[in-house]
Structure 1
Amino acid sequence: MDDIRALLEDSGECTEERAIAKAKGIVDGSKKVVLNIAVTGESGAGKSSLVNAIRGLTSKPERKNADATAAATAAANPEWAETGSTETTMEVNMYPHPTMPNVRFWDLPGIGSTQFPEKTYLKNVKFERYDFFILVSCNRFTETDLKIANNIKKQKKNFYFVRSKVDNDVRNDSENEGRKEEEVLHNIRKKCEGNLSKLGGPPVFLITSRDLTKFDFPALVETLKRDLPSEKRNALEQSLPVFSMQSLDDKYSAFKALVWAMSGASGVIGATPLPGLSFAVDTAMVLSFLTGVYHSFGLDDKALEKLSERVDKKILDEVKESELMQGIAKSMLTSSMLTKLGVASSVEVMSCVIPVVGNFAAAGVSFVTTRGVMQQGLDDLYQVAKKVLEMANLQ
């Protein structure tokens, strides 16, 4: 009965049937959530670079061959949004998140071109499909930016103004004018806010796609999460790259909230007296969950490689040697996890021999065991990710 009590406490429901139904509803609902993020602005503003950076696909092309390097990168990686100093976005392009395809980034062409004239721009880019817009501008706020913002506002959709490439401004003003970073950023923000005053003064976010840990990217993320409904907020949370200890903690909390729901959903299978079924389903569920955590925490090879300049490579190799890390990379669970799930499956089968009451007990056993394995795996991956961030000085 302790197992069933734990299920009821986690769900906040008064009966096991309602608790399992609630858990199943949350899990099924999370699979159907689709988040569509539109990124728009003038040519050369840095739209594609932002799309790549948010999706964790960063690159450092040589300046003198930036266009050629970006084109070569795009050809080698079809997920890459092509970047360059000239207009590279000539049509609406959708780029799914590499590990969460239900989160989609739409790189929109600039307004006013032959294919996308101002009067029909929003209709042509299928305005209604996007959850919100990120309007990207660099160097100066233009009449085109204002037109895009006005069109979005008229349709009562949320938009967020991003002033990109501020690292260039900081560097140039520091070298040529001797200004401090704080002064440069203050002047840029003040000018942008003045230009946006006609639109009611929406917040301005100063960022650089080269390094999302700097400037206003964390504030942008918090604003987006605040404005989204809970189910889409969780999708955004899980898809974003880890850029600080706070972002890691937020991800951990989001996944922790999902543990009980996935474990509760496994109770439906636990109450089914078919030998081996519960073990197979629970194993697949736990592996899928921990694989998602693994990628979201930035512990896959590609993500760790990006930290190689901040963290000693030998230490990263040690991190990869973790039994759990190696197991997930090979789509396997650790032996201790498999043992726990196997024992629980045997108990469930025996419990189901007893009519009605036995089925309830089996569901409780399945819930508690699956929850314990998931939570332990989540905690272990969190500690690994925390260690990596500390070594990289990303506080």
Structure 2
Amino acid sequence: MDDSFDSYPEEIKGCKEALMNNDTAAAAAKIQEYLKKQNKPLNIAITGESGSGKSTFVNAFRGIKNSDVGAAPTGCTETTMEVTAYPHPNFPKVTFWDLPGIGTTNFPADQYLKHVELEKFDFFIIISADRFRENDVKLAQEIQKMKKKFYFVRSKIDHNIQDERRSQKNFNEEMTLTHIRDYCIQGLQQQGFEAPQVFLVSSFDLHLYDFSLLHETLERELPAHKRNALLFTMPNINRKIINKKKEAFQANIKYKALLSAAVAGVPVPGLSTAVDLRMMVSVVLKYVLAFGLDKPSLQRLADSTGVPYGDLHAVIKSPLALKDINVDLLLKLMTQMTNTGVLMAVEEGSRFIPLLGIPVAMGLSFTVTYRTLSVFLNTLAEDAQRVFEKSLGLETSV
């Protein structure tokens, strides 16, 4: 078992001492406390004037279509009349809040701020389909007073590009995007913002334009314990996102392995394996959902890209993808991994060795959990890359 705790968060550095003193209950409690902090809710507010495309953006960020069950309703008129919560379908602790359009007849600007209870949101995305207006600026100023983050998003960029391409002989996409961005920035500067940043986004083509830059900015500015919550809900719009998810999951494996080692210190035959398997079911399910390798996510990807579900399914190799993740499945796969099966058997047998048995079992439990989760993570991440490449009609590179 890795004995270097220097790079570990402060919350669980005391775990080393607890394990050395055979206080496995205290060690497990410290690790669980840390893991619980990484699982805090994230509340994202999406707001803007009526018709700006708020609801479509909410649906796109959640990886669902406007026509899907549970989608935020869309329309050419104001469809959001109340502050409405839309949990992410795979990670319900991440909630997108579709806020009523500021400045509509239903919610005048002077009543809006009280109505939406701004304090409960982690950050705000202010959307406009044209230029940002006085009400948008007023809202941003109120958010600033609360010392919370807000981001200006110029939506429906795909429409602008199509219109300009049809109307201009010498169409240049980069020049068009620069013109739109400068127009928005200048408008905000005229209303008092010194150096506003505006992200150009198409909710129907998230892999284009500034959506990746928006995510990178959000990730950089969020508190550390909420970054992964945002990351895991991100659609797989490029290889970089998939790699970031893999890296985040990989960094967390050592804490799961430490928890496994602490449980292995309890001298009850069979307990460690039973607890480890239940824990790993939960972890692997998160891998599958974050990489979009469950059946509903794969079907949504097929629908949105036009690539047949069967073609996406065909490039998947992991026996965990598109399956019901349960104890029986994991145990079967683990016993098929020769080294892992042997280590599990040795761990149980070592408990009966006087004095050294429990420390040996703890070390073996750490190793089994770490190796198993790493193998499962690698195979699922490779599948996610293949599915992503297939969805764009690219030759698979893994």
Query: Which TM class, normalised by the smaller chain length?
Result: 0.7 to 0.9
- Structural mapping, 1:105-254, within 5 Å: 105-113=96-104, 116-178=107-169, 179-197=171-189, 198-254=192-248
Shift, 1:207, TM fit: 0.3
Pick from 306, 310, 317: which aligns with 2:313? 317
1:56 corresponding residue in structure 2: 63
2:285 corresponding residue in structure 1: 291
Root mean square deviation of aligned Cα: 2.7
SS of equivalent to 2:298? helix
- Superposed CA offset, 1:89-111 (max 9, x none): 00000111111111111111122
- Superposed CA offset, 1:313-354 (max 9, x none): 543232356422254457732623156666555444443345
User: What is the letter of the counterpart of residue 183 of structure 1?
Assistant: M
Shift, 1:5, TM fit: 3.6
Q: Is the 8 A contact 2:294 2:322 kept in 1?
A: no
Q: Is the 8 A contact 2:156 2:201 kept in 1?
A: yes
Pick from 30, 37, 48: which aligns with 1:29? 37
Distance 2:308 2:323 in 1: 23
Shift, 1:283, TM fit: 1.0
Distance 1:362 1:377 in 2: 22
Pick from 259, 266, 270: which aligns with 1:272? 266
Pick from 56, 81, 92: which aligns with 1:90? 81
User: What is the letter of the counterpart of residue 130 of structure 1?
Assistant: F
Q: Is the 8 A contact 1:273 1:348 kept in 2?
A: no
SS of equivalent to 2:37? helix
Distance 1:174 1:213 in 2: 20
2:22 corresponding residue in structure 1: none
Distance 1:108 1:15, change over 3 A: closer
Shift, 1:42, TM fit: 0.6
TM-score (norm 1): 0.86
Shift, 1:11, TM fit: 4.6
1:39 aligns with 2:39: no
Q: Is the 8 A contact 2:312 2:390 kept in 1?
A: no
Q: Is the 8 A contact 1:136 1:161 kept in 2?
A: yes
1:351 corresponding residue in structure 2: 350
- What is the number of equivalent residue pairs in this alignment? 375
Shift, 1:390, TM fit: 2.5
Distance 1:360 1:29, change over 3 A: farther
Distance 1:315 1:322, change over 3 A: farther
Distance 1:10 1:356 in 2: 30
SS of equivalent to 2:195? coil
Shift, 1:372, TM fit: 0.6
Shift, 1:34, TM fit: 1.0
Distance 2:141 2:8 in 1: 44
User: What is the letter of the counterpart of residue 334 of structure 2?
Assistant: M
SS of equivalent to 2:126? strand
User: What is the letter of the counterpart of residue 265 of structure 1?
Assistant: L
2:385 corresponding residue in structure 1: 386
Distance 2:83 2:121 in 1: 12
Distance 1:347 1:273, change over 3 A: farther
- Superposed CA offset, 1:34-57 (max 9, x none): 111110101111111111111111
Higher RCO structure, 1 or 2 (CA under 8 Å, sep 6+) = 1
Distance 2:264 2:378 in 1: 24
SS of equivalent to 2:382? helix
User: What is the letter of the counterpart of residue 266 of structure 1?
Assistant: S
Identical positions, percent: 40
SS of equivalent to 1:201? coil
2:371 corresponding residue in structure 1: 372
Distance 1:243 1:256, change over 3 A: same
SS of equivalent to 2:320? helix
Shift, 1:128, TM fit: 0.9
Shift, 1:264, TM fit: 1.1
In structure 2, list runs of 5 or more residues that go unmatched.
20-26
TM-score (norm 2): 0.86
SS of equivalent to 1:323? coil
In structure 1, list runs of 5 or more residues that go unmatched.
60-69
Q: Is the 8 A contact 1:41 1:47 kept in 2?
A: yes
Distance 1:26 1:260 in 2: 12
User: What is the letter of the counterpart of residue 358 of structure 1?
Assistant: G
Distance 1:276 1:246 in 2: 40
Distance 1:321 1:250 in 2: 21
